[in-house]
Structure formats: C-alpha cells, structure tokens
Structure 1
Amino acid sequence: MTAPTVRPDLNLLDGRFYAGDQGDPHAAYAWLRANEPVFFDERSGLWGVASYAAVLEAEKQPHRFSSANGSRPGTGAFPHMIDMDDPEHTKRRKLVNRGFTPRRVQSRHDYLVELCDLLIDAVCEAGECDFVRDLAAPLPMIVIGDMLGVAPEDRARLLRWSDAMLSALDTNPSPEAVAESAEAFAGWHEHITSAVERRRSAPTDDLVSVLVHAEVDGDRLTDREVHSESLLILIGGDETTRHVISGGMAALLAHPDQRDLLVAEPERIPTAVEEMLRWVSPIKNMCRTVVADETWYGADLTAGQQLLLLYESANFDDAHFTDPERFDVTRAPNDHLAFGFGTHFCLGNQLARHELTVMFTRLLARLPDMELATGEPLRRRPANFVSGIEAMPVRFTPASPASRSR
C-alpha cells in the first residue's frame, strides 16, 4: 500500500469507495490518519473520523457524539436501540440481552457444529463451490432464522428480505432497491407480527419468545419494540457474520502460511477469528451527531453536524497496531473495533465469534487444501454501510460427508 501524496478525493456515501472500485481505500485512510484524522467531506457534507484514537474517543463519549439522531446519515432515528442514547438505550439493551446471555450462546455449540457440517456436506464431494453462496451466507441466516422462529422452508425468503432491507440503507438507493425493500419490510412485518402473537400465548425457547416475555425492573417490550429489535437482529446478525466468514477465508487463501498454521494448530482459531474481524471490518462506519460546537483534532465541529466513525480505517491504524497491513492469525492483543466500543458495543458479538470459530474449525479440518478457483479479483458489494465479498469460487480435494462417517 502506498499512501497518496495529496488529499484523497472521496465521497463517504459512495459505496464504490469502500468496495475498492475507486482505488485502494486503505491508502486513502492512511493519508487521512496522518494528515486529517477528523476531516470534512465536501461531497457528502459529513465529517469523517479516521484514526483509532479519535474513533475510540467518540465511542466512549456519547454525550458529545450522539446516536439519537440515527446511526445512518440523513435517515433520522429508527425505533430500535442502536438509534438511542442512555438511559433509553441501556433500558432497551437489558431487555434484548436476555436473548444473548453467554449461557444461551454456549448452549448452541453442538447445534453449530452439526449445522456447519451439514453445509460442508452439501459441497464436499463436488470438490468445488461458491464459498459465499454455499457456505458463508447460509450459516448466519440459518442461525438467525432459527432464533427468530423462521421455518426452514422460509430461510431463503428471509435472506432476500435481509439483503433488500440493508440495501435500502445505502444513500440514494435505486427505485428498484426501494421497491424491493418495501416489499421485504412488508413480508417481514407480517412474519414477525404473527410470531409475536403466537409467542405471547404459547412461549417457546426461541429469541422472539425471549423478547416477548423478557422483564427487567418491571419493564417489558411492547409488540412494536419486539418488531424493531428483531429486525435489527436479523440485519445485523446476517450480513456482518457472512462477510467475515468469506473475507476471513479469502485472507487465509491469500496467506497460505497462515492457513497451514491453523490446520496444524486449530487451537489458534479463536485468536485468528479476532484477526479476521479486524481485517474484514464488515461494518464500514456508523453515524454520530455532534452535540455541541467544539474543536476536535483541529476540526471545527458545529452542533447538529453528522460524522462517520470509520472502523475499517481505525482497525488499520499503524499508530495503534504493529504492522497493521500484515494478516497475522497470531496477533495478540488485538483490540480491534469491528464490534464498536462502549455503550453500543455489538450485543451479538459472542454469537458471531462462536459461529466464526466453529465454521473455521470444521472447514480447516475437513477441507484443508481449499484454494481460489479464479484468477479474477474478488468483487465486493459497493455499499457505504456493510460491505463484503459477493462471490468466491473455490476448489478443494473432494471429501466424504461427515454424516456418512457418523
């Protein structure tokens, strides 16, 4: 990576920048960190926050940088906890957290092993597959779908809904994307309304039932609040984990020495997962609103202006990480910001880590010689919020299904 010698010409709301369609975003980040860690983007009308120290400071101080005007620029606040400040945020988070306790997450271990093996079984005899379509995308969608009480035959529809609703969060979506998002939201609303009604009268062990019946200090979620938080869980739990699975494997395939180390020493995989999270940084940014006029890192901020916390840039800051452009599965400590920090630290982080650890453990044990089956650059989704690899053809030595050996 060679940093530009002049200020990069970019638009923080253009997804092509994050996908690398307009040059190397890491080079642009490097220039900004070195010269303007807090900078104003004339094209989008937003401030960008590029350095690890500045992003961390903003995350720690919501009284200066608020979430209450929306986590996406220009959209306003939606009625879920990611668009709230304390005390409302903490109150909502305590209720939703009942579905993500360490005990509940750990209890899903055997289920995750079986699920990963079933996905690998579906492709292992062919010796080739599209890694994103066949392995990375199905795992988190099945997990989230099961948690939300979605029938197996409806999983594909849930995936389409999630993709469509996330696409609409990009700036200036096409009319087709807006229409698809509206249709997806209507379908989701019908599903979750029915699920909430059933869980109120007949509780189960799924996440919808937990949210419906959770109570903290006499407070419970209304049906509308269950709808909002379930939608947040659906979108957040699907896309982000999918992109770390695909991006993490792409990094291993590009660095076979690192892949071989994990094949030989699988006990290192949890540490490697942290490096994959740093390396991929699937959530490219989150929006905050300036609470009061102030000068910060040489930038004159005005109350009401919005800024984007650039997590990917922060995770490659050489003022914080040693040799950050090196993919190192043994990197420790690794205090990346892929899950954010502070009061809005990702509620599902332990579930995501568990999914990633189990999937890579099974993949490296069963398909250890996987390699890319294309010489073409891997295409990344041109989105300004959550972005990752769209397709990744791979090949490997055909293997027997795990179900046959049981």
Structure 2
Amino acid sequence: MTATAANAATAVNPATAGRPDIAHPATYAAGVPHAEFARRRSNEPVAWVDEPLLVRHSSAGRSVDRGTGYWAVTTHDAVFSVSRRADEFSSGEKGAFLRDPRTPGDLKQMRQLLVSMDAPEHVRIRKLVASVFTPRAVGGLAGSIERHAEALVEKVVAAEEFDAVPDLAAELPLLVLCDLLGVPPADRHLLYRWSNALVGFDDPEFGGGDVEAYRTAFGEAFQYALRLGMARREQPTDDLISRLANAEVDGKRLSDREFCSFWLLLVVAGNETTRHLISGSVEALADNPGQRERLASGAVPMAGAVEELIRWTTPIMMFRRTATRDTEIMGQSIAEGEKVVIYYTSANRDADVFAEPDRLDLGRDPNPHLAFGIGPHFCLGAHLARLELVTLLTMLRPHLSTLRLTGPVTRLQSNFVNGAKSMPARIG
C-alpha cells in the first residue's frame, strides 16, 4: 500500500466491523450488498479497500493469498470517468481482474485476453474481431436463437418443477455459443465446466481456490480452441468462428494464441454473463409480480424491459484497472501503480442518475446503465446478450403470469459475477 492509500485507509475506514466486505467472494453468496454500496456512494465514493486473506491450494500445499488493496469506485459519474480515461487507468498493466497475477507467466497469460489489453494492441485485436462480430452477423443467429428458446420454454413449461439456472439460463447461451463457434452441441457441457472453473474460482463447488484446477481448465480450453481454429483454417465453414480464424485487418490475421484467447473470452463471457442475466431476470420477475404483469400484458415494450433487467442484474459487477501515473478520481489522489476497481453494480443503483434505483421499473426511460461497460472496452457481445434475453422473454411471455420460485436461490461466491447456481422454479 502506498502512503496515499495508507492515509486514506486510516481516514475513511476507521471501523468496518459489521459492514459487508465488498472484496470477499463469500459476501456475495447472500446477494449483492446494495446497502453497503449505497453507503459508499454517499459517504466515500472513492475509498480504499483492504483485501481479505483467501486460502489457495495446489499440489504444493495450501497457501494464504492477500491482494494489495484497491480504490473502490462506486458512483456512476466516477465509473464512467475512469472507463473513458484508458491512458490513465490501464487494463493491461496488471490485468482486468481483481486478483493480482501470481507470476510473470500468469500476467502474460492474462494479457492475451481482450479485456486485459491496452492500446495499440487492444485496438488492433478489437478492430479485427469487430469486423466479424457485427450486429448484422449476430442478427443472423436470430432464427436459431428463437428455435432454441422455444424448445427450452416448452420443456420447462411441461415440467412439474425445473431449475432456472441449468435448465433454462445456462442452456440457451450454451446452445447459441455452439452455433456461433461451430462447436458440436454435445460439447456444450465442456464449455459449461470450463467457464465455471474459471469464473467460479473462489466458489467451493466450482474452483474452490484450486490454482491447478484453474490452470488445467484454461489449458484444456486453449487446446480445444487451437484444434478448432486449425480445422477452420484448413476447411472453412460458414460459422462466425471460421470467419474469425481467417479474417485479416491491414493484411494481418489473429495469431493462434490470439485466436484461442478470444475464443476463450467468448466461451466465458458469452456463457457466464448471459446465463446470469437470464437467471437474474427470472428471479427479478418472480419477486416483482406487478412488473411481471406489465411485461406479460404487453404494457411495457420488451426492449425497454430488457434494458431494465440488465441494469437490475448487472452480471459483471466490476473490473479492475491500474493507475499508470499519479492522478485523481473525484478529488481523491491516486498514486501510480495503485489498483482501481470500478463497480458497475453500484453505478447502476446511483440515485443521482436513476430515480428510485432500488425499484425494478420495466418502463424506465431513460436508462443509462453501465452493465456493458463504457469506453474502449464496451462489451462486444452486448447485441447478442440483448437478443438472447429478448427472444427468451418473448417465448416466456404467455406463461409469465404463473412463474414462481419454489425454493431458495443458491448464489455463486464471486466478487466478479452476480450469479446464481440454483433457482428452483415452476410455471403453471
């Protein structure tokens, strides 16, 4: 911790006993601590957070890991500002994730992901990917998304009870990913397992803090992507991944490593975020029957309702940046090299921007949420996530009035994604 951070910790964190620890993954097993984020927005919108001790294990034994601490940025204006100041707040310096890279090799591996790149490399890779991952290309999947959604809704409606996470929320993005990536549908559970191991690293049911399991999942996914990319270069098909494997910008195409890294990002982001968006939307509608009826009756436009559900859920709760020089955020001095964490989940409940932010309002307009980020790292998959949720809710609309949760929701222990592992439900 720098002197600046040490002084801030003394000044603004005199007694945190009893407050939810926003840095600890276990905190989120009880849901996002929105009251704590509201307190922070009001009293300390940019404040130092000491990271907790976390147990890691591998074949070498158990170890205790503690991050360096960070500045938590919680207001809409401040998150927006940091996101747009990419020259001052780097994604590539130490990666975009809260957990610090353990080794130079880990950092090198992390920097292969688009979310952990800075310009000019980020611009080159994103330009190449964007040339393939266009709204028009995504729109070409509309027919298959509709067929998958229709079949899944028919199945859960017919069931006496179902689990909204594996039976509905996970299945749709997995099936869509198989279409998008040219992966055999039978392999979709590999994608599910890999993304759970990588994103659920801290959850006892998935990663459990096992460093080797994380690296194994990463390696398996890379090897699968490498084989897929080589096959598509030798024998291209009409799927998006073939176009990605063979696309060129300024006479240069993705290297094998760059291709595999982006493929893995699609697997994780395209699966995890949309899965948690869908399950969070199901929970929100079940818990807010008045709003559910507005959607079921057609009283609110579907597109606007989806934007509100995206704001409400905010599947990716935060990303990390690293200060490239001495700077400031909202008057708070930030030293070069310090970790800065931008909390989208807090920004999307900011009362200075959203009227009654803790009330679900499917007719909310305007709705300038930051769930897909802002600035150079705005989510490339935003069009696809919206299309999947719109399509699924359109299929569910005739049945929404009878949607009920029938048991407790089990949540993921993660300080990164706002997700559920199990959500017993019934329709009818």
User: Under a length normalisation based on structure 2, what TM-score does the superposition of the two structures give?
Assistant: 0.86
Matching residue's letter, 2:45: P
Q: 2:153 & 2:355 partners in 1: Cα distance?
A: 35
Matching residue's letter, 2:241: V
- 1:50 is matched with 74
- Determine if contact 2:196/2:207 at 8 Å carries over to the other structure: no
Given the superposition, is the C-alpha separation of residues 236 and 174 from structure 1 closer, same or farther in structure 2, using an over 3 Å criterion? closer
- 1:71 is matched with 96
Runs (5+) with no aligned partner, structure 1: 1-5, 398-406
- Bigger CA drift: 252-261 or 161-170? 161-170
Where in structure 2 are the equivalents of 1:304-319 lying within 5 Å?
304-319=337-352
Given the superposition, is the C-alpha separation of residues 307 and 263 from structure 1 closer, same or farther in structure 2, using an over 3 Å criterion? same
What's the Cα RMSD here? 2.2
Given the superposition, is the C-alpha separation of residues 177 and 364 from structure 1 closer, same or farther in structure 2, using an over 3 Å criterion? farther
Aligned counterpart in structure 1 of residue 27 of structure 2, from 10, 13, 17: 17
- Determine if contact 1:170/1:384 at 8 Å carries over to the other structure: no
User: Under a length normalisation based on structure 1, what TM-score does the superposition of the two structures give?
Assistant: 0.90
- Bigger CA drift: 307-316 or 144-153? 144-153
Write the deviation string for residues 165-218 of structure 1: whole angstroms up to 9, x where unpaired.
2223889x9666333323322322232111111111111122321111111221
Question: Helix, strand or coil for the counterpart of 1:390?
Answer: strand
Question: Helix, strand or coil for the counterpart of 2:162?
Answer: strand
Aligned counterpart in structure 2 of residue 31 of structure 1, from 39, 56, 79: 39
Q: 1:128 & 1:266 partners in 2: Cα distance?
A: 28
Given the superposition, is the C-alpha separation of residues 174 and 152 from structure 1 closer, same or farther in structure 2, using an over 3 Å criterion? closer
Question: Helix, strand or coil for the counterpart of 2:147?
Answer: helix
Q: 2:207 & 2:197 partners in 1: Cα distance?
A: 11
- Determine if contact 2:320/2:340 at 8 Å carries over to the other structure: yes
Taking only the aligned residue pairs, the percentage that are identical comes to 40
Question: Helix, strand or coil for the counterpart of 2:301?
Answer: helix
Q: 2:112 & 2:84 partners in 1: Cα distance?
A: 22
- 1:401 is matched with none
- 2:414 is matched with 383
- 1:404 is matched with none
Given the superposition, is the C-alpha separation of residues 145 and 251 from structure 1 closer, same or farther in structure 2, using an over 3 Å criterion? same
* Structure 1 residue 55: Cα displacement: 0.3
- 1:273 is matched with 306
Where in structure 2 are the equivalents of 1:319-334 lying within 5 Å?
319-334=352-367
Aligned counterpart in structure 1 of residue 283 of structure 2, from 241, 250, 266: 250
Corresponding pairs, count: 388
- 2:49 is matched with 41
- 2:54 is matched with none
Runs (5+) with no aligned partner, structure 2: 1-14, 52-66, 102-106
Matching residue's letter, 1:17: T
Q: 1:238 & 1:266 partners in 2: Cα distance?
A: 30
Question: Helix, strand or coil for the counterpart of 1:146?
Answer: helix
Where in structure 2 are the equivalents of 1:81-96 lying within 5 Å?
81-96=114-129
Question: Helix, strand or coil for the counterpart of 1:195?
Answer: helix
* Structure 1 residue 365: Cα displacement: 2.4
- Determine if contact 1:81/1:93 at 8 Å carries over to the other structure: yes
- 2:58 is matched with none
- Determine if contact 2:201/2:210 at 8 Å carries over to the other structure: yes
Write the deviation string for residues 196-250 of structure 1: whole angstroms up to 9, x where unpaired.
1111111112232111111122121111110011101110111111111111111
Q: 2:314 & 2:406 partners in 1: Cα distance?
A: 24
